[in-house]
Structure 1
Amino acid sequence: MAEEQNPIGSGTKKVFINHIDSYSSGCIGKFLSTCVVGASVEPEDVEGEEDNEVTFQIVGTVKTKTEKRRSRVSSEEYFALGHEELLRRLMECDVIVYNISENSEQLDEASWAISALNSEIHHFGGPKIFILISTVMTWALTKPIDTDDIDIPFTEDDYRRRRPHPNFKEHISVERLVLKMGKTKRSRLSTYVVAAGLQYGMGENIFHYFLKASWLGEITRVPVFGSGNNVIPTIHVNDLAGVIQNIIDHKPKTHYLMAVDDSNNTFEDIVKAISDMLGPGKIEKVAKEEAFHTKCFNQRNVDALSVHLCTEAVFLKNSFNLQWPIRICILGPPAVGKTTVAVKICRHYKLHHVTVKDAIGEKIKQLEEVVQMDDQEGESDDTLATQELLDSLKDNMNQNGGRLDDQFVFQIVRDKLNSKPCRNQGFVLDGYPKTYDQAKELFYGEEEEAEDPRSKMPLFNQKIIPDYVFSLNATDEFLKERVQNLPESVVQGTHYAQDQFLRRLAEFRDDNAQDETVLDYFDELEIHPEHIEVTGDKDSKYLAVTEKIVRAVGNAKNYGPSAEEREKEERRRAEERMKLLAAEREEMERKEAEEAANRAVRLEEWNKNRREVKRQEHEMLEARSIPLRNYLMKNVMPTLTKSLIECCKVKPDDPVDFLAEYILRNHDLVD
């Protein structure tokens, strides 16, 4: 069969994904559709190739037929293809991705597809990559590496030892077939198997029930089916998509890969975190069979939630450009807005906000609770050690005016960064460390490694070192003005008081004028800080600064919003729009009422003025008529009266002529 292969340099790399309208495959397709081929390779290796960017063109099959494409993710969608037509479509593609992690009905088709491609390998117009996305359930019954330590994690190197869950035996058969077919002629057909952990994010998939139950608040305790002590391997669906992208770009020599994050959370940990974040904050352990009563889980879902596997994706972490979780450090002078930005970033990525003050307060409170609990249960060596540490911290703070020596701060902050929440979800370290020595001490390497004497790079702990460092910069004038404009209630009792602020600002400038600064430390580790200027003129809420950081860090790699969260956010926005419209209507009605009242006042004033003018005109006319009336009464009326009397006596035929003639004859009587 001849192939319609995209020529090199055509501007696209065609990727086939089965069931593109399903949760996992849809998210992977959406992710790849926004990527540039080769983008996961180190930047210096692809520098200068921006003008010849090659993009991914996504095509694939769909489970349900629609009149038009479901989204802009795929350029072509196929429904119910026969084998001959399906093979023709696969031959047109550079990369074929078959996802059997969420739909066992695709097992037979995936087996047929890889076999059919292998039989046509000599007709390929160019090399192809076949990627099978399987599941860690093919490891479910694998015997521990060390029976004395069952928590030693499995890695890709142990894949030949894997034993599947009884309900996933067909999956492992397909995995083996894919790996076998990839050995025929790897220069023409490279095959990869990706054992994916339970996928979450962008809709949450298997964890949707717990998110919904927590969000709706219809239950007081979120159920944990079974003991909840089993460790569940998980991976964010976008990270899984990133693994696929890296395989396409790198074509690694390792052909079996694990795609799991570093969380190693138990089932109970996961449900508790969801309950704390979205729901009542409480959980309840119930029988595993209760899961079926919810009608939200099938047998495969229950099997997946019951699996106990400690895994570690060593190859992915060491070879691919992936980052789990996000660790950020924000530095800068006092009052520049570090905490404001850190809170916004934590809210955006759902990270933990770490400050020295909060870490110390949390540590002291934790020690006090432990001591109090142990006092009720009886003294022990641990109690004495805890009490001794608590006393040491308090004594040191009393001697230093409420501050702790660096040796205590290092340990407390290091413990905080090593805590399970920070290790799993990530953190934003706010305003610390401040000097080169503090950074070196805080992030020192725990493992004894052979250090290259020629290297200037200090040893560091890879598990807590920040992935991104942002240095917020501002002028002294701006910082002083910002502090002066703060409300007195905010400034009082804080380090923003004038004398303390100026001293701390001077210390910061001095620390950053040394030969070795905290930014130099990160530069040496090739974690190059990004400098962001803060002016505040048009960004008083630090939206522009936050946007720059989000753009640099990229998409969130944590539990994304569930459907309920997105619905709530849409409702919130709709309510805000309705409130805004109602406020606008109310303001318009108020203005109209105010204008009507003003018009009524103006009309009443006009009528009042009109009446006054009429009155004054009447009085003026009355005043002007008095002399005329007096003249008439004195000179005219007597003669007129006599003429009328004579007229009455004579009774002439024409009284008017009679009166006129009478007055003319007697005009001398009228003065």
Structure 2
Amino acid sequence: MADDSDEEQVGEEQLKEEEAVPQKPKKIFINHLDSYHGKHIARIFARAKPGATGEAVEEEEAVEEEQAEEKQKKLYDEHPIDDGWKVSGTIKNSQGYKRPPFVQEIIQYKDRNQLADYLKEMNVIIYDITQDPEQIDEAVWTCQKLESIINELDHPITFILLSTIMTWAKTQPNEDEVPFSEDEFRRRRAHPNFKEHHSAEKLITKLGLTNKKKLITYVAATGLTYGMEENVFHYMFKSAWHNAPELQVFGKGGNFLPTIHVIDLAAVLQNLADRQLKTRYVVAADTSKDTLIRITRKVSQTLGMGKVKIVDQEDAMLNRDISQADYDMLLANMQFEPIFIREQMNIKWHCENGITENIQKIVDEYRIQRKLTPIKICILGPPASGKTTISKQLAQEYKLHHLQIKDVIEDTKNELEQLVKRDGESEQNEEEADDQDVDETLAERIEEARNILEKLEEVRRDSKDARLDDDILTQILKIKLMSPPCQNQGYILDGYPKTLDQAQSLFGASGEEEEEDAEDKKPPVNERIIPEHVIILDASNEYLRQRIMHLPEKVVAGTHNTELEFKRRLKIYNELGDDTHPAKFFEDADRPGETISKNINQYFNFSIDN
């Protein structure tokens, strides 16, 4: 007769055998993997372990720079983890589509019954009906089919319908300005153009009542999604990046828009896929209470020229980048208090507070996803080496902004005068000033503008040909380099900085950043404005003199290329040593210049004018 210790040993061995049995990978189906939602939801699932949302989410602490860079890489990583969800699905447009690493299989089928046979093997099915209304019928048919063969299923299936908050658009609030909550979903009323979505929501919820152990259904009504390459707000970001003078606000812009970052939407869906929750209808939205005009203004201030313009609602339909569905969503007016996802779900929020509170992060994502990295170039060299001619040609070829010091000073002066003038007009019209909801830094910008204009006026009074000191010039250049055109498309800085001190003053980091990098051998730099490419032209003194001598008189007149002025400039340049040349700053900052030397006309077939 076996004693207790023998039974315990047998029990332990059985437990070990059970643990040794490999778990079947969890399979998930997502329709239209080539859509905005499908792409990002699939990638997030492929990089997550099934059941991961059952674990408590720890609050993030401040991370070091290296950790932040690692986190940034993971944000765009398309490689699945070994024990992550196995993603398959359909695509809408196969032309030119290349299956990404996070998608295991693209499903192709001749008829819906063939599709249903495949879906029976899934653990989770997500049907997104927000991007393509034609998917509504397929989603409903699929869920009905699964319900009809429910007894044939050998494992439970979770069916998630991703719908839209537009099924609430005509719901009357119980009180003015009181947000809706999920538990009011039974009295929701849809926008006329989203009634089919509403019908699908009700039917999917009903189908989940047949056998709650075999077929679990959820409806997730999402707010307007944003982030990464952008979706409904793409028209706004696109106009801002192209430096439109003003971003359009359709109607008065005071309408509230429920929103959610696409990564946070994926996190909501993960919670539904991982755990059996009592609530079968959830609203996916962040905590923001942003209006259309606030969102538009923040995008304009961060990515564009800083201005917005109120236009008629109908003008939105003239914009080819705005579909009818987008038009309807942008003009919706709703507020939600999504209590369930905040209190009952484990979400590691990416943008919990919405667009306006995370605008720089969202703009950075847009630039990266759309491959809109600006090209920043600096061209240095002795006088008459061809800096301006080369700069003009490169600017024309790459559609960059050509920055010459004289023009930068004049342009910035005019812009600062306009900024101060607008501030004066705003003070005269208090109602307009309140409505503008300007950012906190505007007052500082206006004060800085006044100080610079005063200094410029002092220099002008002292002498017509007086030169600006380096401090003022640095301020002006920083304003220009931080302007939307230079930040969006890039720039070519022509012939500046001329010394190491000027380079450090212009491109060095601020005091706080300097303290953080004090132990680093590399000089701390302002990454937002420092050039990635530095071109240094070089040639012998004799070669440069010959160039100047052969320039036509009409080209020389009124420039620094007269004989006396050329000699003065060349002497100053030649007196620069290795320790004072601006090239040293870029070399120390791991941005060494590419030197083009000797007989430079063998590289460029044009006359040299600077």
Q: Which category describes the TM-score, using the shorter chain as reference length?
A: 0.5 to 0.7
The answer as to 2:595 corresponding to 1:587 is yes
Cα contact 1:11–1:55 (8 A) shared by 2: no
What is the deviation of 1:101?
Answer: 1.2
- Deviations along 1:264-287, one digit per CA (max 9) or x if unpaired, are 211111111111111111111111
2:55 corresponds to: 42
Query: Residues 193, 327 of structure 1: CA spacing in aligned structure 2 closer, same or farther, 3 A cutoff?
Result: closer
Distance 2:164 2:282 in 1: 11
Is the partner of 1:238 in helix, strand or coil?
helix
Indicate the residue corresponding to 2:237 in structure 1.
211
Residue 143 of structure 1 corresponds to 172
Contact 1:138 1:172 in 2 (8 A): yes
Q: How many residues align?
A: 368
Equivalent in the alignment of 1:134: 163
How far is 1:228 from its partner? 0.8
1:323 Cα deviation from its structure 2 partner: 4.5
The residue identity in structure 2 corresponding to 1:161 is R
Give the Cα separation in 1 of the matches to 2:274 and 2:347.
Answer: 13
Describe the shift of the 1:20–1:185 C-alpha distance in structure 2 as closer, same or farther (beyond 3 A).
same
State the 1:250 CA deviation: 2.2
Q: Map 1:361-372; keep pairs closer than 5 Å.
A: none
1:234 aligns with 2:259: yes
TM superposition score normalised by structure 1: 0.49
Preserved CA contact (<8 Å) 1:11 1:53: no
Q: Choose which of 152, 174, 181 in structure 2 pairs with 1:155.
A: 181
Q: Given that residues 299 and 359 in structure 2 are in contact (C-alpha distance below 8 angstroms), is that contact kept between their aligned partners in structure 1?
A: no
Cα contact 1:136–1:195 (8 A) shared by 2: yes
| Aligned match of 2:191 | 165
Deviation at 1:261, TM superposition (A): 0.7
Distance in 1, Cα, partners of 2:28 & 2:314: 41
- Residue 220 of structure 2 is matched in structure 1 by 194
Partner of 1:176: 202
> How far did 1:111 drift?
0.6
1:33 aligned onto 2:59: no
Among 62, 65, 70, the residue aligned to 2:91: 62
Cα distance between partner residues in 2 of 1:327 and 1:18: 26
Rounded to whole Å, the distance in 1 between the matches of 2:525 and 2:52 is 30
- Structure 2 CA distance, aligned partners of 1:234 and 1:21? 22
- Whether 1:105 aligns to 2:134 is yes
* Cα contact 1:69–1:77 (8 A) shared by 2: no
Q: What amino acid is aligned across from residue 247 of structure 1 in structure 2?
A: L
Following superposition, the deviation at residue 11 of structure 1 comes to 5.0
Match of 1:285 in 2: 310
Residue identity opposite 1:198 in structure 2: L
The whole-number CA distance in structure 2 between the counterparts of 1:96 and 1:161 is 27
Q: Distance in 2 between matches of 1:226 and 1:311?
A: 22
In structure 2, distance between residues paired with 1:97 and 1:123: 21
Q: Residues 296-315 of structure 1 correspond to what in structure 2 (within 5 A)?
A: 296-315=321-340
Does the residue aligned with 2:154 lie in a helix, a strand or coil? coil
Helix, strand or coil: the match of 2:274? Answer: helix
1:581 and 1:69 map into 2 onto residues whose CA distance is 43
Counterpart AA for 1:294? N
In 1, are the aligned partners of 2:57 and 2:348 still within 8 Å (CA)? no
CA–CA separation in structure 2 for the residues paired with 1:228 and 1:374: 23
Partner of 2:120: 91
- Residue 33 of structure 1 deviates from its aligned partner by 1.1
Q: Secondary structure at the match of 2:595?
A: helix
2:28 matched to which residue of 1? 15
Question: More displaced, 173-182 or 317-326?
Answer: 317-326
Q: Counterparts of 1:376 and 1:212 in 2: how far apart (Å)?
A: 31
Q: Secondary structure at the match of 1:104?
A: coil
> Equivalents in 1 of 2:348, 2:141: separation in Å?
35
Residues in 2 aligned to 1:346 and 1:290: alpha-carbon distance in whole angstroms: 25
Secondary structure in 2 matching 1:129: strand
Q: Render the CA deviation track for 1:600-657: whole Å, top value 9, x for unaligned.
A: xxxxxxxxxxxxxxxxxxxxxxxxxxxxxxxxxxxxxxxxxxxxxxxxxxxxxxxxxx
Could you tell me which runs of 5 or more consecutive residues in structure 2 were left unpaired when the two chains were aligned.
1-19, 59-80, 365-422, 432-503, 506-510, 539-590, 601-610
Rounded to whole Å, the distance in 2 between the matches of 1:114 and 1:41 is 26
Shift of 1:578: 8.1
Q: CA deviation at 1:236?
A: 0.6
Q: Does 1:119 align with 2:119?
A: no
CA contact (8 A) 2:261 2:350 kept: no
| Superposition pairs of residues 470-549 of structure 1, within 5 angstroms | 536=519
Two-structure CA RMSD over aligned residues (Å): 4.2
Hey, what's the Cα distance between the residues in 2 that align with 1:107 and 1:376? 49
* Counterpart code for 1:18: N
CA distance in 1, matches of 2:42, 2:54: 19
Q: How far is 1:200 from its partner? A: 0.8
Identity of aligned residues (%): 36
CA–CA separation in structure 1 for the residues paired with 2:303 and 2:273: 37
* Cα distance change, pair 43–108 in 1 and its aligned pair in 2 (3 A): same
The verdict on how the C-alpha distance between 1:350 and 1:180 changes in structure 2, with shifts beyond 3 A counting, is: same
CA distance in 2, matches of 1:581, 1:70: 46
2:532 is paired with a residue of what secondary structure?
A: helix
Which segments of 5 or more consecutive residues in structure 1 lack a partner in the other structure?
1-6, 46-51, 329-344, 352-368, 378-486, 489-493, 496-500, 502-532, 547-568, 593-671
Change beyond 3 A, Cα 1:106–1:213: same
The aligned amino acid for 2:595 is E
Hey, what's the Cα distance between the residues in 1 that align with 2:101 and 2:537?
A: 33
CA 1:346–1:267 in structure 2 vs 1: closer, same or farther (change >3 Å)?
Answer: closer
* TM-aligned CA distance change 1:175 to 1:295, over 3 Å: same
Query: d(CA) in 1 for partners of 2:222 and 2:430?
Result: 46
- Structure 1 residue 69: Cα displacement: 4.0
Q: Find the aligned partners of 1:320 and 1:296 in 2 and give their Cα distance.
A: 35
Distance in 1, matches of 2:598 and 2:54, equals 61
Residue of structure 1 in register with 2:274 after alignment? 249
- Residue by residue over 1:519-543, the C-alpha shift from the partner in whole angstroms, topping out at 9 and shown as x without a partner, is xxxxxxxxxxxxxx99936788599
Measure the CA separation in 2 of the matches of 1:326 and 1:234: 10
Find the partner of 1:263 among 263, 277, 288: 288
- 8 Å CA contact 1:99–1:132 kept in 2: the answer is yes
Provide the rounded CA distance (Å) in 2 between the counterparts of 1:376 and 1:185.
62
CA deviations over 1:219-269 (Å, ceiling 9, x no partner): 321111111111011111111001111111222111100001111211111
Change (3 A) 1:137 1:44: closer
1:576, distance to aligned residue in structure 2 (A): 3.1
Match of 1:222 in 2: 247
Q: 1:135–1:68: structure 2 CA closer, same or farther, 3 Å change rule?
A: closer
CA positional deviation for 1:83: 1.0
8 Å CA contact 1:98–1:110 kept in 2: the answer is yes
Letter in 2 for 1:109: E
Q: CA offset at residue 161 of structure 1? A: 1.0
SS at match of 2:172: coil
CA distance, structure 1, for counterparts of residue 52 and residue 294 of structure 2: 35
Contact kept in structure 2, 1:129 and 1:248, CA below 8 Å: yes
Q: 1:65: Cα distance to partner?
A: 2.2
* Residues 302-343 of structure 1: per-residue CA shift (max 9 Å, x gap): 111111001011000001122446699xxxxxxxxxxxxxxx
Select the structure that is richer in helix.
Answer: 1
Q: What amino acid is the match of 2:220?
A: V
| CA distance in structure 2 between the aligned counterparts of 1:274 and 1:14, rounded to whole angstroms | 38
Q: Does 1:82 align with 2:111?
A: yes
Partner residue in 2 for 1:576: 532
The alpha-carbon deviation at position 579 of structure 1 amounts to 5.2
